[in-house]
Amino acid sequence: MYLLIDLAEKDLIHVSLFDQKKIVERSFSGPNRDLLLSVSKFLEEEKFKKENIKGIMVVVGEGGFTSTRLAVTVANTFGYVLHIPLLAINRDQVEDVQSLIPKLLKQTAGKYISATYSGEPNIGKKINNIWAKSQK
């Protein structure tokens, strides 16, 4: 089975386990910081051991900056530890995720993926403004 991580919607963690014939999906309401807990709970509910994950797909290019970074970081960590292939996909590819299994399997196991963002990050702007005001 393969794992899909999708954090494109704010405060919604969507995960799926799938192979060529079957898809099991689950959505968790909550902040993106609950991703790892949600994945763990999902795998436990499905009685599926993380060691049996054959590859991971991650939705990138949509959603918040932090959500995208978090999803990619979790996938990269699993990929490194389990030595499995990873694939970054677009949100519109989720609907037909099973057709992407051959593409996933062509990826080099243990190779990291990079995040693609829907916009520029806005981190640091407020801090810089506060810092600039304190320097006056």
Could you tell me the pTM of the whole model?
A: 0.84
DSSP code of 97? G
CA distance 94 to 92: 6
- Dig out the tokens for 17 from the structure: 């386990």
**Domains of the chain listed by start with CATH number:** 2-134 (3.30.420.40)
Share of the chain above pLDDT 90, in %: 74
> Where does the pLDDT of residue 121 fall: very low under 50, low under 70, confident under 90, or very high at 90 and above?
low
What percent of the chain lies above the pLDDT cut of 70? 85
pLDDT tens digit sequence for 37-68: 999 999 999 999 999 999 999 999 888 888 88
- The pLDDT score that the predictor gives to residue 66 is 85
pLDDT score at 35: 95
3-state secondary structure of 127: helix
Going by pLDDT thresholds of 50, 70 and 90, the confidence category of residue 114 is: confident
User: What are the pLDDT digits (tens) for 60-84?
Assistant: 988 888 888 999 999 999 999 999 9
Say if strands 23-29 and 12-18 run parallel, antiparallel, or are unpaired. Answer: antiparallel
Q: Contact 78/50 with Cβ under 8 angstroms?
A: yes
